[in-house]
Structures are given as structure tokens and as C-alpha cells.
Structure 1
Amino acid sequence: MARTPRKQSGKHQGINRRTLLIGGGAAAGLLLAWGVWPRSYQPNLNAGPGETIVNAFLKIDASGQIIVVVPQTEMGQGVTTVLPQILADELGADWRTVAVQSAPISPLYANTLLARAWLASDWTRLLGDAGDWAIGQYATRGALMLTGGGTSVPMFRDAYRDAGAAARVLLCKAAAARWAIPWESCDIQDGIISDGGARRMKIGDVVADAARFDLPDILPYRQGQDGRLSGQDLPRLDTPSKIDGSHNFTADIRLPDMVYASIRQGPIGDALLAGLDERAAGSVTGFLKLVRQERWVAAVASNWWAANKALDLSDPVFTLRGVPVSSGGIDDALEAAFAGSDGRRLYAQGDLAPVFEGATILASEYQVDAGLHLALEPQCATARVTDDGAEIWMATQAPGLARAAIADALGLPERAVTLYPLHAGGSFGRRMDWDAGVQAALLARAMGRPVQLLWSRLEDVVQDRPSAPAHARMAAKLGRNGAIEGWLAKVAAPCALTQTWARIADGVLPHVAAADAADRATRLAVAGMAPPYAIPNWAVDHFPTDVGLPLGFTRGNAHLHSAFFTESFVDELAHLSGMEAMSFRIQMLGGNPRLAHCLSTAASMGGWQGGIAGSGQGLSAHMMDGAYAAIMVEAAMNGDKLSVSRIVAAVDAGDQVNPDIARQQIESGLVYGLAYAMGASVPYERGLPTRAILGRMNLPRLADIGEVTVELMRSTADPAGVSDLAAPLVAPAIANALYTWTGQRMRSLPLVGAA
């Protein structure tokens, strides 16, 4: 990057002890100051001809089209259908008239739920509700728009419901005024306002008048189930354009006089551009220019293939300062962390010392490798920079932070940068980083014309910010009845989320962010390690370290390794206690009936045989943020090839708005988890991955997946996010299944080596 790192000085540096202790009073000065700041935010939407802005989440045009504004990035998870479905249901709209528009950057769309999960610390937890309030205010005032962690529906469900209810009330008031009747006698169904009798009116006929009326102090929600859209398997709004090819992703953007660029950024770590052969690049037809920065070089040409070819011929050379990342070095750093002084007990219940003292302790060690994102669409951004400002087209999970970084790189005020958020061709968390947007903007300024930057697949793999590698030392004491009396989990892992925040909020270079987080024990690195079972005495210790590999936001984040450690060890303990694996779990789930129901349902639907030798069946269960899931898999090893013939999942994630999309996300998570178990990781040597071709990463293909069954449990609880829920379950279930098949425990991920 060409930017000067804003180490601990950026406006998004987060909530910590320094920002909370103001004037000697814990949070008092800060809370008082925030309390007197202006807190009224108005929608900053643009209205087209005939459109009326109803509120921050809704516009309606004169023809009656419902335009729902969505601040969350669509990455294939269906958020641009589910959130509009909530609003349309409460409004009483005709689903055929609903359209979607991406939201501009505004405090009204801040994701305070993800901000609280991400930025909570010992200091904010110490303050309790005041700490949560402080993070919420920080996120709102900074327009911290974030997509991730399955938070879209839990965060915005009430806002969209209120937006739909408010629009329905205003429209009914406008129609009632024309009919000279009380507005309470009116309702809207299928986009038609009626008084319950013969009088009917289209929404578009009165929407211009509706904005002049006031809302009641308490919004009335729709009652009854007739004509309701919530809970129905409505078709996705983005499917038709994706089928016919009219859907625009970043690489589809075309601007007048636009050129194309490819980029090289050197090996992983503190790499500086040392030299290149500029004359060789000039031999490529269509080549225009090489643009050099301190840490990268890009070739610009009339088409991308020419740009990438010119870059290959220029053969850029980088100088790598520090120790090159390697798989051996990663493992050594993780093992050394256990003996370091930075380890810390983050979770504890009961008293382990008397339970373990003089007892026979059962122990096992596990490890997972870093998992790559490998989204279908590599990093890409299109930029146009003029004297008046900059325009950026890109898919981003943090548009406000991306815009701030681009403005900083160009030396412009944020108001001079317009960011057009696009749908992502997959992400799994990778679009939380904004590097490509900054690079495209710098290239457009250097060229004096629009530039579309597309990373090659090689570059996408080399510069990926994968999930955290981790080692675990698990220990437990079994009682005479087979129940777990004591449980200790020691986890050595860098914190990917701490690194990600430093990069995207403070502009810290990746290798610096990794080093800065090396001594910080945090709950984010061991999220999901708290056992869901009724164990009287247990503890979780985190041992932070820097493995030399910059890490990033991923699907499931730390739950990917946490569930593997926990559910694999529980299965081992069941075998050592002489109990069948499901019964062993169920006996400890009396206080967790929703997870117990999922587990028994998955086992029943899958025809659980008790984990007998040769069955090839395995179980796992996990819970995340109010969602519960269990799966049963049937797996086998044919030589050195893993085959998974069947996956049965039972999920309790509350009352889902669109059950079919929920199933899609769970199925997607299961396949993602299968990739995590089979491959999706690479060895590293001398600062580079040893493989970068997808076909050599042992990723699952359709023939490897087999039958997938998803059962959504009936629930009246509020809907929880499901995009991250299923992925962590697959690897431990397969490992447990392979134990019954081979008689050997597999304690490392990936479970099989890549070709």
C-alpha cells in the first residue's frame, strides 16, 4: 500500500481503556460528551422522478413500485431478499412490485450488533450496559456499516419491520383522508389499500400525499396471518438477473475510456518492490504503463490479459524484510505460545484445581491450518478520479471504512469520494478488506482515466487473509457415571479479527497488524470454545502469537477451529467412557434443550447406528449467537481419498423470514465446512503458498458431496443469523465418522492432504 499507516490515530481506532477513561472517571466524561452531541440523522437518499422517500429504508414511486434500501452487502447469502421481505410483509406489499437499492453511507445503517461483538473488551464489559451503549454510539456516529457474522437479520429486522409499519400507516392515512374515514379502518394487502369494503386504491396513487402525515407514538403492527409474506419461501430478487447475465459485479462495470490493470504485491510479509524489467513489458500489444508504488506494481493495458502478461514479463522483484512465513514456522510459533507469558484465562466456571488434582486426566492435542477464502470472484475494483473527486465501484463489507481509506490515500475529504457498493461474487469475509479499492483509485489518478483493477487468482491466493491457524491442548476428568467433571481447553492462535480491525479501521499494514496483536489474549480468538454442555468445572485459556501470516475475517471466524477442538474431544471422551456418542452428549444437554433437540433430530433423521465400528457415521453439535445446530455425516476413506456420502443437519435458528434461503445458507455452510475439512488451505514456504491453483487444493466437487438434508426446527424465537452456523460443524463430524471407519483419530485439519 502507498498509504502512511495511521497507527492508533485513525478515527475508527475502537473502544479501549484510553477512550473510556476520561478525566479520571470511568466513561463518565465520554458518555456525557456523547450525550450532548447531535443525534438526529436524516435519510440521505436520492429520489428519482416520481419517487417518494418514505423513510431511510423505503422509497415508493408513483407506479406503486416498492424500492427497499439495503445497507448490507449481498454476497450470495440472500440478504437483499430477506430484509425486503420483512418490510414488504409489514407494509402489505405485492412481492412482484418489490425492488432493491443499495444504501448510501449513513449513520442510520450502522451495524451496532456486529460492532459490539467485534469491539467489546474488558473495559466495555466492565461498564456493562454503558459499555454496550458506548460502542453503539461509536458505531453509529462513525457510520460503521458492516456485513458479516450472520448479523444482518438480527440487526435490522426491527428497523425493517418498523419501516414497513410506518409506511402502511402513512399510506392508510392518505387514503383515509381522501375517503373521509378513520385511517384505522384501512389496511393494505397485495399492494392495494382498502377500507374492508368496496373502496380500493393503489399505493402509488397516494404515496406523494402520505409523506405529509404524522406517525402515531406507537406503531401498530399487522395482525393475523392472512396474506403474510414472512415465513414464505419467496423467490430471491437477485436470481433472474444472475441467471440471464444482466447482474453487474465489479468486473462487469464499463466506463468511457476505461483501461484495465493487474497487480503484483510480493511475498507475504514486509515486502518492498526492488526492481522490474520495464522494457520487456513494452513488447505486449495493448500495454500502456507500469505504475510503481513502494509495495506493489501494476501493469495497465487496453485489456486485462495484456496487463497481466506485461506484468509477468516485467518480472518484478521484491525484498522481503524479516523471516519468511512457512508452515513449519507457523507450527513452531503456535507451540511456543503455550510456553509464553501472554497466555490468559478468558472463560472459567467452577474450580478446576481440586477436580484435576490427583485424578486421571484424559488429554488430546489438535491443530488446524489456516483456511483460504477462495471466493469465486477475486479482488476487484473500478475507479474514476477527477479534479472534483473520486468514484469507486466495488463490493465491500465495510463501505464507510473503505471510503475513508480511499479518501486518505488520495488526499481527499471523504465527501469527495463516492463509493458505489456492488454485490460480491462470493466473499466469506474477504471483502472486509478494502485494498483493491485503494489500489484502483491510485491507478486511476496515475493514468488520468478510469481503471478497472482485477487481481489474478495467483495474487488472490498469495495475498489472502485466511482464517487463523490454531493448536489446542484439551484435558478432561470423567466421573464414574461417564459425565465430564472437569474440562480445560488451552488454545494457541493469533486473533484474525483483531488484525482485521487494525487494517481496515486504522490503515495498519498487514504484517504490522499481525505483530501488534501477538501479545493480546482475546475472546475473539477463542469464540465458540465455551462448551455448550453442562460441565460443572471448566476453563478456556488463550495463548496469542504472531505466526507471520496476516489473517482476516472469515465465515465462522474462530468457531471454525473451536468447534473442531470441542466436538472432536467430546467424541473421544464418549469413546473412552464407553458410552455411545449421542447419549454421552445428550446427558449433558439438559440445560440446553434447543441444542439437544437438534442433536436427537439429526441422529434420528440420519439413522444413527450408535457410532459402531465400520458405520462411518459421526456427529457434532454447536451453537452461535442464538442459533443451534447438529449434524450427522456418513464418510469413508477410499485409499487416500475422502468421500462424504451423506450430511443430515437439524437447525433451530428461530422463526426464519424465508425458510428456503435459510436452508440455502445452511447447505452453503455445510459445503464450505467440507472444503475446510478437505482442503481450502495450502502449505507455505519462503513467504509464499506452495500451491495457488484451485484444482490442486482438494476442494470438494459435486461428486464428493453426496446427499444433503436440512431440517429447520419449528420455533417462535426471533430469527438468528445462519450464514456462519453450519460451517464449523462439518470437520469434527467427519473426523468423528472416520474414527468409526478407520479406528484412528484425525486431530488435524485439513483431514486429508491436497494433491
Structure 2
Amino acid sequence: MVARGEGNTVGRRGLLIGGGVGVGLIVAWAVWPRSYAPNLPLAHGESLFNAYLKIGEDGVVTVAVPQAEHGQGVYTALPQILADELGADWRTVAVQPAQLNPLYANPLGVDTLFEGLFDALPLPLREGHARRSALLLTAGSTSVRAFEAPLRQAGAAARVLLCKAAAKRWNVGWQACATEGGFATHGKDRLRFGELAAAAAGGTLPDPVPLRGEGGTRLSGQSLPRLDAPAKVDGSANFAGDIRLPDMVFAAIRQAPVGDAKLLSVDRDAAAHVRGMLSVVTNDDWVAAVASNWWAANRALDALAPKFSTTGPIVNNDSIDAVLAAALKGDGTRIWSTGDLATAFKGAKLVTATYRAGLAVHAAIETMTATARLTDGKLELWLPTQAPGLARAAAAAALGISEGAVVVYPMLIGGSFGANLEHLAATQVAVLARDLKRPVQLTWSHGEDLLHDRYRPPALARMTARLGGNGQILGWQAKIAAPSTGRELAGRLLATDRAARAALAISAAGDTYAVAGARPVYRMPAYAIDHHPADIGVPTGHWRSGAHSYTAFFNECFIDELAHVAGTEALSFRIGMLGGDARLARCLSTAASLGGWEGGVQGSGQGIACHSFRGSHIAVLAEAHLDNDGSVAVDRIVAAVDCGRQINPDLVRQQIEGGLIFGMAAAIGASTGFSDNLATARTLGDLDLPRLADTPDITVELIPSEADPGGVSELAVPAIAPAIANALQAATGTRRRTLPLITGIA
């Protein structure tokens, strides 16, 4: 066993020696003073107040949002924060995507996405590098947590400037003025923002800038209408696939199987007979058919009948299972521990159970797509991306040009769940634009999207615990075999970042990402969490909630099994071990009360589970049964959520409901096997996704809280699968320990 101490720190000298030039650059950048100017474009009649805000003479308040909108509601929640502090009229608030700028970097997103992989670097160095590298990431449920403070400051600064401009006209002190509903006010005097914007912008600010006090109409906390909804409803919203450029052509792609595979041959003559077919582009890794429309390009791919050779190991279900089993028997890395587990386990009767989770797919509605135009050495990219700076760097590297020669236009995303952190489509379309010498739009088919996904990794866990005479857990060990997805993801996304690669090289052994969420929320004197790396030969990546989606399944199913061994009702067993965690205990008791918890007795078909995640807490009660054909049917879901202060309660409820359905889909399907280096799921129909008729009755209770906002968009995913599994145990008397909760995967 390789141990990793939780208290390890790395000094600056050690960083420079161990990390070489790359980490030395981070240290240098962190102490290099640098300021950045806003680059928010202005239209006629608009006045720039700061990097997040401009106000038009027509009174329209436009907020720049540096996070990708892929259905989670950031185009509403983030403007709502600023508008609340500004005192704006919500009917006059507009939104536009922010351009790449270090001012919009998200250091919290970097830390959260990679689950502490870069903790060897002191926090100021990590933050400094993220900002100077313009690491704009939409990941890890960090949008509100990362940008609430700067957006409030931006709104407050503009409010002060508007009050100063109004006060000058009224010949009063600016502190006596206020803003509300899009007006600056002083007693009965009122001036619209649009009348004051030009005079107010560029004024001087006090230090510190005061935030709005209590009182007045506040927008924060209201379920205001979504700003992106009208355009999505009437079809005027532009997604990446809607881009049309002069002289543009369309491309479809077929890629080599996973592993050591290369393109051998294509039938160009057969493809030439497809109407609309224009060109074929090949390299060792893929073949692209180019046509006057995408349907013709995709038909031409079939006609090309590409053949690939695979010289490396064959990857299939059996090989993946064998690698995981071997990894679990081998040495692991201790990621977290407390107490003396060896003493707790010595000579005691132990409870053990083994759990599995299969490969899970993203299966977003919008497949991978990107549009590129290369003109005079300047590359323009239109693409759905959660990491525009990383996509820019990858495309520049693919063409051998500078990042400054690449312009990225982030688009609305039709779902993502982490898939659009990847930038493979951006590099492919950049190469196509160069070779074709004309604008091109590349779109993967759903089959290609499933065959070449960056899957949620599979995992195998051996759980062991010791129960005391009073039913308390005295010791707990989780040994988890899983790919080192965090390191793989960091190496892939940050491939052009020398400093990040050097920092990764000196980070502690093991992969915290691979076992994130495995540390139990319950109080016990001794526990240990070990990661056993497994190289399965399949690319893996970030999937909504990451490893929490399987570690919560392992933990919450095992807790139910321990409660059964202890002869204790499952809800009481959990609450009794939470100690002082009042927020999670309240979630559990609320879900049980609303759901009519019957104790999980045999035949009830009820199961319960809970999880704490990104500063938020959730408990889920599920009711489920098996249909006559053996398929899993979920009848009812009740969730109680404490996510701190809620900017927009309806957005929270939408994300919880969506996460519950997403997690339910993954619990009963949405997975793939592997055969001969290819995924066996080729169409959405192969995934057994729940349909409208399969959707259970869902109740979501939002618990009021004044705690700081926690993460929401991923929160509901981890707890639903174990709740369903526990419900099936109560319904059938049989414990299912494998995700998805079916007998097997083809």
C-alpha cells in the first residue's frame, strides 16, 4: 500500500526543484503583477461599466456571462445576481456570452473538476495560473459559487456610479440616492438608467464599494423567468449546428476504434457516386466525408466503408472486468483515512460486499459539432464548449499557429453533462478547414458520439466494515478499482499547458477524482479510502457528478446492508451516525416525512439514500418494483435539498428534477458494453432510456437556508441510484450490487 498523508505540503523551493520550468513559470506568474481590461464589445448607444456590464441609452442592461449555458440556467442565475445588486428591472435585462479574458477565469472550476489533483501547488499559485491562462471552465457546479461575488461587486459598482450621476443632476449627496426597478431614485425624483448611463460610466468609485442594504425589492431569491427560454421556445436561439457561413461545406466523420488502431483503406469510388459528395479527408485516426449537406456526407461515409487495423490488445467486457479485478487485488494508494483501521478490524467479524459500476455514456441531444473558417492564418471557431480557452489552445496546436490567431465563439449547448469539456471536434474541424480551404461544419452522428464518447469510467469496489455491539460502525474501508480519470482528463484537456503538466507530474500518487465522494458522511472512529488504478484501454472523462455517481452508490447501498445486519431501520441508522450534520439529517427526515417512509420493510418497495456534494445536501426516497419482464420500474421519487441560499428557486428545482431523471436513466440503462474495441451501444435506442411514460411522480422540497450557495446542477445524480437499489431490495428481497441495475449489458 502506498500511503498519502493528508497534511503534506510542498514548499516553493521544492516546487521549483521538483516541477522544473513549468511549475517555475506558475510561481513567476503568480508574483507578476498584471491587470486586464474588459473586452466586452459595445454597440451604438451602449456604455461600458465593467467587464460584466453595459447599459444602453434605451435602458437595456446587458450582462456578460463567462459560463456556458447548456440547460442549467446560468444565463438567468448569473444576470439575476448582478441585476439584484444593481436594482435593475428584470424586463430590461439581457445576456450575452463573455469573450475569452483572464478576468473571467474560474479557478474554483479547475480545483473542483480535477478534485484536488493540483493541491500540491499552493492556492495562490493555482489561482494565479488559472487567471493568467484564461482558464474559463464551466464545470463542477461552480458557476454561482465562483461568480456570485464578482457579479455582486460589478452590480454594486454600477449602482454607485448611476447614483452619483443622478445626484449630480439633483444636487444632492450620492449616498442619499438609491436604485430600484431600473431607476435611480431620491425621494420622489426618478431617472431611468438609460438616461444616466453615458454620464455614469467611467466615474470614480469609493473603496470599498458598498453592497445594497436590506429592504426594497430584491430580485435574488425570486423565481424569475429564464432569459434563454423565449428564444429556445420560438426557435430563434442559435446553437452550433445553426451556423451558416458563405461557401460553407458539411462534414461527417468516422474514427478508429479505441486502442492502437489506424485507418487502412476507404472506397473513394463508391463515395463519389453519392449525390452532393465533394471531398474525402483522411489521416491515421479518422476519415471525414465532405458534402454540400450533412446527410450526403454521412451517406458517403457508409459508401467509403472505412477499414481500420487494430494491433494492440482487444478491449471487451471481459478484458475490462479482468483489469478491474486484478487492480483490486494489487497495491492501491490511500487517498483518505482517519483513526486506526487495523486495530478496529483486528480479530473482529467483518461485513463485506462487492459492488460494480459499468461504463456510462453522456448521450446528449446535441452531438459533437464545430464550425471553422481559416482566413489569412486566422482561425475562427463556432462550437459548444465548456472550456473555450482549452479548445482554442488545442485547435492552435493542431494547426501549428499561435493561440492569438484563433477566435472562439462559444455557442449555446444542447445538453452536455461534461462531454463538451472535450475539444477533439475543435481540432478535427480546424484540420478540415485548413485542408479544404473553405469554411466547414463538422457534426458527429449519434452513433459516432456513442462509439467515441469519453465515458464515465467503470469501477469495482470492495467495501468492508465492522459493527459494534450497539450497531455503530467502528471501522470502514473502501477499496475502489477504477481508471485514473482525473489524471487522464487533466493530461488530455491541459495537453498544451506545460506548467499544468509539470504540476500534475509532482502531485501526490493516486487519483482523488477516481474516488471522489467515497469518504463517508457518517461519523466513525476509523476509515480508509484506497484507489486501485486500472488501465482498461478505454478513454474516460467527466460525466455529470463524476465519481460521486458510483461512490455514492457503493456507500449508500452498503449502509443499507449494514443497517440490515445491525437489525436497525435504515433511516434511523443513518441519522444516528450523522453526528452534528444537522443539514443532511434534516434532508433525510424531510424526504422520509414527505414520502411516507414505512421503514423500508420487506414488500414496501421503498428505499432511501443521501449525499453531500459541493457544499449542498440531498436525501432521496424512491419507490420501485420489477415489472413482469424483469425490468426496473420507478414509481415515485421524493427529494429534499439544502443547497444554501437560492438565487432562483425554480432553476434549482429544474436542475434537481433533471438530475433525478438523468441519474435514474443511468441507474436502469444509459450504459454500454465493449466488444472488439468498440462500444456495443450504437443508437439512443440501445440505451433503454426512460420515456415520458416511464417518468415517476417527482416531488422536490427545497429547504430554506442562509448558508452560502452550494452546487446544484450535479447534486441530484449521486443519490438516486442507491435509493432505487435500496427500494428494489425492499420490493424483492434481493440486493442488486451492479450499475446499471439490470442483469447484464450486451
TM range (shorter): over 0.9
The Cα of 1:23 is off from its aligned counterpart by 5.4
How far apart, in 1, do the equivalents of 2:589 and 2:105 lie? 39
How far off is 1:502 after superposition? 1.0
Q: CA deviation at 1:16?
A: 9.5
Query: 2 CA distance for matches of 1:281 and 1:704?
Result: 42
Tell me, yes or no, if structure 1 residue 541 matches structure 2 residue 530. yes
Partner residue in 1 for 2:442:
453
The residue type paired with residue 110 of structure 1 is A
Distance between the aligned counterparts of 1:533 and 1:121, measured in 2? Answer: 22
Look up the match of 1:572: 561
Instruction: Pick the aligned partner of 1:247 from 229, 237, 241.
Output: 237
Aligned-partner Cα distance in 2 for 1:264–1:645: 40
2:12 is equivalent to residue 22 of structure 1: no
Aligned AA (1:181): V
Query: Given residue 286 of structure 2, which amino acid in structure 1 is its aligned partner?
Result: W
Shift of 1:48: 1.4
Out of 85, 88, 91, the position equivalent to 2:83 is: 88
TM-score calculated relative to the size of structure 1: 0.94
Letter in 2 for 1:381: A
Residue 231 (structure 1) aligned to one of 221, 226, 240:
221
User: What pairs up with 1:635-674 in 2 under 5 angstroms?
Assistant: 635-639=624-628, 640-674=630-664
Match of 1:65 in 2: 60
Match of 2:259 among 248, 258, 269: 269
The alpha-carbon deviation at position 386 of structure 1 amounts to: 1.1
- Asked if the contact 2:333/2:509 (under 8 Å) is kept, the reply is no
- d(CA) in 2 for partners of 1:474, 1:449: 56
* Shift of residue 407, structure 1, vs aligned partner: 1.2
* 2:349 is the counterpart of 1:360: yes
> Following superposition of structure 1 onto structure 2, how do residues 398-437 of structure 1 map, counting pairs within 5 Å?
398-437=387-426
Aligned 8 A contact 1:362 1:477 in 2: yes
Aligned counterpart, 2:95: 100
Which one of 192, 203, 207 corresponds to residue 202 of structure 1? 192
Is 2:171 the counterpart of 1:180? yes
CA distance in 2, matches of 1:321, 1:24: 36
Q: 1 CA distance for matches of 2:737 and 2:63? A: 47
Deviation at 1:495, TM superposition (A): 2.4
Alignment of 1:5-404 (within 5 A): 21-22=15-16, 33-118=28-113, 124-125=119-120, 131-197=122-188, 199-341=189-331, 343-404=332-393
2:479 alignment partner in structure 1? 490
Would the alpha carbon gap of residues 605 and 317 (structure 1) be closer, same or farther in structure 2, given more than 3 Å must change?
same
Distance 1:744 1:17 in 2: 53
State which of 424, 430, 448 in structure 2 corresponds to 1:441: 430
Determine helix, strand or coil for the equivalent of 2:96: strand
* TM-aligned CA deviation for residue 403 of structure 1: 0.5
Q: Distance in 2 between matches of 1:708 and 1:221?
A: 38
* Mapping of residues 492-571 of structure 1, within 5 Å: 492-506=481-495, 521-571=510-560
SS of residue paired to 1:124: coil
Structure 2: how far apart are the matches of 1:497 and 1:97?
42
- Runs of 4 or more, structure 1, over 4 Å off, are 15-20, 23-32, 118-123
| Runs (5+) with no aligned partner, structure 1 | 1-14
* Aligned-pair Cα RMSD in Å: 2.3
How far apart, CA to CA, are the structure 2 residues paired with 1:643 and 1:381?
Answer: 38
Aligned pair in 2 of structure 1 residues 233, 524: CA closer, same or farther (>3 Å)?
A: same
Give the SS at the match of 2:477: strand
Determine if contact 2:161/2:203 at 8 Å carries over to the other structure. yes
**Matched AA of 1:77:** Q
Deviations 1:710-730 (A, max 9, x none): 001010001111111110111
* Aligned partner letter, 2:128: Q
Tell me, yes or no, if the aligned pair for 1:397 and 1:432 is still in contact at 8 Å.
yes
SS of the residue aligned with 1:74?
coil
Contact 1:634/1:645 (8 A) holds in 2? yes
* Paired residues for 1:669-748 under 5 Å: 669-748=659-738
Are the structure 2 counterparts of residues 25 and 233 from structure 1 closer, same or farther at C-alpha, using a change threshold of 3 Å? closer
Residue 35 (structure 1) shift:
4.8
Q: For 2:114 and 2:570, how far apart are their aligned partners in 1? A: 37
Shift of 1:317: 1.0
Identity of aligned residues (%): 53
The Cα shift of 1:119 comes to 5.1
Q: For residues 20 and 391 of structure 1, do their structure 2 counterparts lie closer, same or farther at Cα, with a shift above 3 Å needed?
A: farther
Instruction: Give the Cα–Cα distance (whole angstroms) in 1 for the partners of residues 725 and 240 of structure 2.
Output: 39
Report the equivalent of 2:3.
none
Structure 1 CA distance for aligned equivalents of residues 151 and 107 of structure 2: 15
State the 1:269 CA deviation: 2.0
Moved more, 257-266 or 223-232: 223-232
1:288 Cα deviation (Å)? 0.1
* TM-score, normalising length: structure 2: 0.95
**Pairwise CA distance, 1:325:** 1.7
In 2, Cα distance between equivalents of 1:99 and 1:203: 14
Q: Residue type of the partner of 1:186?
A: C
Indicate if the aligned counterparts of 2:82 and 2:151 stay in contact, CA closer than 8 A: yes
User: Counterpart in 2 of 1:589?
Assistant: 578
- The one-letter amino acid paired with 1:22 is L
Cα distance change of structure 1 residues 119 and 687 upon mapping to structure 2, 3 Å threshold: closer
**Could you list the per-position Cα deviations for residues 287-307 of structure 1 after superposition, in whole angstroms to 9, with x for gaps in the alignment?**
000011221110000000100
Deviates more, 1:319-328 or 1:168-177: 319-328
Aligned residues: 730
Q: Contact 2:117/2:513 (CA < 8 Å) preserved in 1?
A: no
Q: In 2 relative to 1, CA 732–355 (structure 1 residues): closer, same or farther, beyond 3 Å?
A: same
Give the deviation of 1:520 after TM superposition. 5.2
For structure 2, the residue ranges without an aligned partner over 5 or more in a row are 1-8
- The residue aligned with 1:467 is 456
Q: CA deviation at 1:472?
A: 0.3
1-structure distance, mates of 2:51, 2:10: 31
Compared with structure 1, are the counterparts of its residues 144 and 35 closer, same or farther at alpha carbon in structure 2 (3 Å cutoff)? closer
For 1:721 and 1:501, the matched residues in 2 are separated by 22
Deviation, structure 1 residue 435: 0.9
CA distance in 1, matches of 2:489, 2:318: 24
Q: Give the distance between the partners of 2:587 and 2:119, measured in 1 at CA.
A: 34
Contact 1:16 / 1:123 at 8 angstroms: preserved in 2? no
Residue deviations 1:468-497 (CA, integer Å, cap 9, x gap)? 100000000111111111111100011222
Q: Which amino acid aligns with 1:557?
A: G
Distance across 1 between alignment mates of 2:419 and 2:23: 37
Contact 1:116 1:136 in 2 (8 A): no
Q: Give the match's secondary structure for 2:449.
A: helix
Q: Which amino acid aligns with 1:21?
A: L
1:507 Cα deviation after fit: 5.7
Cα pair 2:256 2:263 within 8 Å, conserved: yes
Kindly provide the amino acid, as one letter, of the partner of residue 614 in structure 1. Answer: G
Alpha-carbon distance, 1:38 to partner? 2.7
Deviation at 1:122, TM superposition (A): 7.5
1:474/1:28 CA distance change after superposition, 3 Å: closer
Change (3 A) 1:247 1:186: same
Distance 2:589 2:337 in 1: 28
Instruction: After TM superposition, give the deviation of residue 254 of structure 1 in Å.
Output: 0.9
Report how far residue 558 of structure 1 moved.
Answer: 0.6
Q: 1:520 to 1:684 in 2, by over 3 A?
A: farther
User: CA 1:171 to 1:658, structure 2 compared with 1: closer, same or farther past 3 Å?
Assistant: same
Q: Is the 8 A contact 1:187 1:193 kept in 2?
A: yes
- C-alpha distance in structure 2 between counterparts of 1:385 and 1:18, whole Å: 43
Q: SS in structure 1 opposite 2:730? A: helix
